[in-house]
Structure 1
């Protein structure tokens, strides 16, 4: 009986392997789009005059040649209040640089990009940010009461709506972790915003001697709504996760609205500090 079963098993394997077919799956490709990375970030304590805008085109996922830098475009930013115009010079590598930009808090600016005969525009306001008053460590606020976390302490300005973007990046990590906050329920209060690494995300917990670089941005409500969706989608699929969708930034093609650009034009003030775990 065992011999018969072995023979049947071999026959089944042969049938299965002989029925394998190569299936070519046609992957749907989105149209190539201009991608605008226009984050004009003014670090507190600096002049904020040196700013860079990056332009590229979207590429198919399986395309081996990823060099999609855009050159030959015309890029400028205008202060809508006083009419000052800042030309961003083509560096011939997808970057456009201006060394004399003048950031003014709470003023509106307009970005204009002319590429392949079409004009893209976006409007944003330079948003302020409060100071970080202290950085501490603890094991009390996070999900794991034994894991080290860093606490960013600051006081939210009262009687106004404020939105924040945090970036946490341990030295040696490839990418930062982004988190967002609006002050709807904490307006005017002292806030302790904590960050820890979780083993559930295949991350190693912070240990003594680790250094984490921290950035806190003041952002607009529109940008907060945009980055919130991106953060949710980047966290991966889960039981209560949102279904990934294509989201548009604020860069509008005024000549051909259907040919919109990816990316976002933002103007923010930012504070940067580092913390070493003890």
Structure 2
């Protein structure tokens, strides 16, 4: 009854997936591809109710090489985000990654919330995929505020508008083992309780992790693990009060067995519940549908994945408020 669907966090895999479909599908179908894929762009990132700044990445959709699968960052675009409600317009600044005397990838930027220069240090393997990162310089993510995105690149103008839907608090979280029909136990899966906002359609993005990190961090922006612990949910078939809902483990490109994506090495599990607009929910929904379609005789015909950003743009402009709760794993049970 609870309709969970999982999303592979990298929208680029959908682009690669299209290429495979062209070779494998026998039934004709229409895909809303850019007129010229080589001239398209990929935009990712989120404005949250975290303290700023917020980070975004703009890249080309085709990998630099088949061997590395790194994507060329776009560093000569003009990106403007406006808080329409507050009347604040923000021209994003480019952050150029650096390697220093010691190991690691370094990002230096001005943290206008803390009013000081700041830095983020990630691992060495992040550097090849870290170009094209931009940061906000003045706006704050505020529930109920409307934001517009404007991207100017190579004479083209791409736009989007999103409103930050208020967060839904997680009122309870438990962590316990579950048995599957195949006899394999789910290791320490989280179950949560929350109350849907009344008289509106609610759409959610869930995320599971072993440790707590900001939703809009550079680390999450550039994360390319094989397991993305994201899942989406509509409240269409839910009551106002949701009690003991098993949170999906998310999507994986390499899963050893069902439910193998749940965290098992730490003593805590953090669950983040983010608000989604209907437009962003639909993008995730279609992307999941595409990735679960293998082109076989019994597979449904693929459908279009559209962005909420105008023009030849992959990805989405998302603003989300979130709540977070953690549970302790009692391994003595």
**Residues 43-77 of structure 1, C-alpha deviations (whole Å, 9 max, x = no match):** 3xxxx331111111111585446340110211111
Aligned to 2:9: none
Q: Per-residue deviation at 1:220? A: 0.6
Q: Per-residue deviation at 1:267? A: 0.4
Q: Which runs of 5+ in 1 are unaligned?
A: 1-26, 254-259
User: Higher relative contact order by CA 8 Å / sep ≥ 6: 1 or 2?
Assistant: 2
Kept after mapping to 1: 8 A contact 2:198/2:240 = yes
Closer, same or farther in 2 for the Cα pair 1:205/1:31, shift >3 Å?
closer
Q: Is the counterpart of residue 91 in structure 1 residue 131 in structure 2?
A: no
Aligned to 1:195: 247
Which one has the largest radius of gyration? 1
Kept after mapping to 2: 8 A contact 1:52/1:88 = no
Secondary structure class of the residue paired with 1:81: coil
Q: Is the counterpart of residue 57 in structure 1 residue 64 in structure 2?
A: no
RMSD of aligned alpha carbons: 3.2
Secondary structure class of the residue paired with 2:227: coil
- Structure 2: distance between partners of 1:204 and 1:113: 36
Kept after mapping to 1: 8 A contact 2:64/2:72 = no
TM-score with structure 1 setting the length: 0.73
Secondary structure class of the residue paired with 2:52: coil
Q: Is the counterpart of residue 105 in structure 1 residue 143 in structure 2?
A: yes
- Structure 1: distance between partners of 2:233 and 2:259: 25
Q: Is the counterpart of residue 165 in structure 1 residue 165 in structure 2?
A: no
TM-score with structure 2 setting the length: 0.62
Kept after mapping to 1: 8 A contact 2:210/2:269 = yes
Range that drifts further, 48-57 or 225-234: 225-234
**Residues 127-149 of structure 1, C-alpha deviations (whole Å, 9 max, x = no match):** 22111112102345865674342
From 291, 306, 309, give the equivalent of 1:251: 309
Closer, same or farther in 2 for the Cα pair 1:67/1:184, shift >3 Å?
closer
**Residues 96-133 of structure 1, C-alpha deviations (whole Å, 9 max, x = no match):** 11142122322221100111121111111112211111
Q: Which runs of 5+ in 2 are unaligned?
A: 1-21, 24-35, 97-130, 212-224, 250-254
From 57, 63, 72, give the equivalent of 2:76: 72
Aligned residue pairs total 241
Kept after mapping to 1: 8 A contact 2:43/2:56 = yes
Secondary structure class of the residue paired with 1:31: helix
Closer, same or farther in 2 for the Cα pair 1:225/1:196, shift >3 Å?
closer
- Structure 2: distance between partners of 1:58 and 1:68: 8
